[in-house]
Amino acid sequence: MRKLTKKDKTFIQYGFLIFLIGLTTYLVSTTLDIKLIPGIVKLVNKKYILSGIFLMLVYMSLEVIIIKIIIDSIQRTKSKFISFKIATMGFYYNLVTPFASGSQPMQIYALKKNNISFSKAVAIVTNKTVVFQAVVTLFCGILIPSSMGLLKSEVHSVIILVAVGMSMNTFMLIFGLLIVFNPKKIKNTVHFTISTLVKFRIFKFLESKLEKIDHYIDEYNKSIKMFIRNKTALALSLGLTLIQLIVFFSVVYFIYKSFNLMGTSYFNLLRLQVFLYMAISPIPTPGNVGANEIVFLKIFSGVFPKEYIGYMVFLYSGYVYYFVLIVSGLFTIGTHYNLSKGKEKQLKSIAEKI
C-alpha cells in the first residue's frame, strides 16, 4: 500500500472539512423556511449583528495581547507583529485540523523562523496552552456545578457530552499540573502504561516514542516553571484570558438580542454557551464543525423560537467559525508567504558567501 504524501494528507484533511461543512449546511437548512428570509432580514437588529462582529474582533485582539505578554516574558524580539502572526496562525490551524492538533506545531515553526530558539518556542506555545486550559477549565468548573438546575431543564439531552467534556478538560489540567509538580511520577506512570500496551502488536510503535515523551515532559516542566516565576506576566495572561472567555461566551446573547427577543437573561445565555463549549470539546472534527451546529440546536431549542433557531445557528457559526477562519486564514497566507520569502533570502545569502 502506497504511503500517503503530505499533499495527499492535506487534500484528505481539507476534503473532509468541506464535506462536513456541506453536510452541516444541509442538515441545518432543513430547519429553515426560505419564505421567512426577507422578513428576518428586516426583523434583525443590525446594531446587535455588528456588535457580535466587534465582539469577535475583541476576542481575537485579546489573543494577540496574551501571546505578546507570554513571548516578552520569555524572550524580547525585534520581529514585527510576531504575536499577531502567531495568534492568527493558531486560530486558523485550530479551525482546520482535528482536535486543533495542527496549531501548536505551526506556531513553533513560525516562532523559530522569527529567530526564537526551539526550546523557547516550545515554552511560549506550552505556556499559552496551559494558561487557556487552566482558565477555561476553572471557569466552566465553577459555572457548571452551580447551574445544575439549568443544565437539567434546558440541556438534559446533552448532559453526558457536557460531563465527558468537563472530565476531559479537568484530566488534562490535573495531568499538566502533575508534570509541573511531580514529573518523575508522571514519567513512571507513562513508562508503565506504554510497557503494558506494547505487549499488543498494534501498540508496538509506542516503544520508540518513550525518549520523545520523556523529553516533552522535561520541556513542559521547565517551560511552566520559568513562566510561573514571572508573576506579572502570569497574572496578566490569566486575567486577560478570563476576559477573553467572557467575551466569547457572550456571542449567543448578541444573537438573541439581534432577533429582538426578551425573557432570558444574559447570565443564563452565557451559561448555556458554556455548556455548548464543553459538550463539543471532546468531538474531534476540525473546528468542531457539525458538532457545534447540532449541539446548538439541542441546547437552545427551549430558548429560541422554533422558526428562528435555524437562522441563529448559521449566525453563531458565522461568528465563531467562518468569521475567524476567513480573517485568520487571510493573514496566515500572508505569514507563510513572508516566511518563505525569508527562507529564500537566507539561502541566497548563504550561496553568495560560498
**C-beta neighbour count of 339 within 10 angstroms:** 16
Q: What whole-number distance in Å separates Cα of residue 251 and Cα of residue 57?
A: 12
| Pair 155, 299: CB distance under 8 Å | yes
**What is the average per-residue pLDDT within 142-159?**
79
pLDDT, position 103: 83
Confidence check: pLDDT of 33 > 90: no
pLDDT at 346 over 60: no
pLDDT tens column, 245-283 = 999 999 999 999 999 999 899 999 999 999 999 988 888
More confident residue, 94 or 354: 94
**Which residues have CB under 8 Å from 155's CB, separation 6+?**
162, 272, 275, 279, 298, 299
Residue 31 has pLDDT above 80, yes or no: no
Closest CA to 135 of 226, 248, 232: 248
The CA-based angle 95-99-105, given to 5 degrees, is: 80
Return the residue matching grid coordinates 472530565. 167
What would the pLDDT profile of 53-64 be if each residue is shown by its tens digit? 999 999 999 999
- The C-alpha cell 473546528 sits at 287
Q: What is the mean pLDDT of the chain?
A: 83
Residue 354 has pLDDT above 50, yes or no: no
Structure confidence at residue 342 (pLDDT): 54
Lowest mean pLDDT among 32-46, 112-126, 253-267: 32-46
| Mean pLDDT of the 220-243 span | 91
Nearest to 320 by CA among 141, 55, 63, 15: 55
Banded pLDDT at 135 (limits 50, 70, 90): very high
Q: State the distance between the two ends of the chain, measured CA to CA, in whole angstroms.
A: 43
Give me the mean pLDDT over the 171-196 stretch: 88
Q: Inform me whether the pLDDT recorded for 13 exceeds 90.
A: no
pLDDT reading at 68 higher than 90: yes
Q: How confident is the model at residue 152 (pLDDT cuts 50, 70, 90)?
A: confident
Give the Cα separation of 57 and 154 in Å (integer).
Answer: 30
Q: pLDDT tens-digit profile of 304-334?
A: 988 888 888 889 988 998 899 889 888 888 8
